[in-house]
Amino acid sequence: MQVLPNAHRWMTLPFFIAIAGFWFSYWSVFSTVPFHQHLHGLTATLWFLLVIIQPWLIWRGSLKLHRKLGFIGLFGAGGVVFSALQIVTNNLSNESLSPVLRYGLTWGDFLFLAGFAHAVIMGVLNSKNTPVHARYMIASAFWALLPALSRLIYFPLVIVFGFPPPLSFINVIHVSVGLSLGVLAFLIIRDYRTDGRVYASYVLVAAGTLWFGLTVRYMGEATWWISFCDSLL
């Protein structure tokens, strides 16, 4: 029996959210952005594509190709993490962002990168436990999704209402956190009803997402965190 036979269809949604969310800050200005931003944007996009292709290959019964792409995907995941660390220092020096956003979003970058790396590593370590492996790979996309979802909500508000929009970016983050938690709660409940178990991968990404939503403003104003971030520049 196949695990999550429709996963490849459902995972197209995070992919399109990622593309649309970063449309104005990356894809629409593709020819003008620096190399490190290309490195991050393209490796992250390839990872989102991978979490669509891999379950599709299982659905098609192409296990050997699935394993080969999984091995290649490890280098892609490493590229996502490495390039994101380059983006962090760039964001810290972005004077167009308020200090609360600069340091609060940097906190989120570190938190989500750690969660993404953990999900990938645990997915590899559980490669022979298909239900656990599949959910860690899905969770990796959720760790990387919140920044795109927040932008997807915020920029249309700016277009429609002008700047500043009715909701601040911090408010939009809270909305995005709520939406993400709703989807994760659905997945957790679905697994419990069908498999009789709760998978740690979803619980961890839900806890990390909630923690970020609760702490983003505090971390954006915390002097100890600001001092640490400034030391990275």
Q: For the segment 103-148, what is each residue's pLDDT rounded down to a tens digit?
A: 999 999 999 999 999 999 999 999 999 999 999 999 999 999 999 9
pLDDT at residue 2 tops 90: no
Residue 84 neighbours by CB under 8 Å, 6+ apart: 40, 44, 109, 113
- In the numeric block, which tokens belong to residue 63? 């296990």
pLDDT at residue 43 tops 90: yes
pLDDT at residue 34 tops 70: yes
**pTM, rounded to two decimals:** 0.93
HEC-encoded secondary structure of 18-67: HHHHCCCCCHHHHHHCCHHHHHHHHHHHHHHHHHHHHHHHHHHCCHHHHH
pLDDT at residue 14 tops 50: yes
Per-residue confidence (pLDDT) for residue 22, from 0 to 100 = 94
pLDDT at residue 181 tops 50: yes
Q: For the segment 215-229, what is each residue's pLDDT rounded down to a tens digit?
A: 999 999 999 999 999
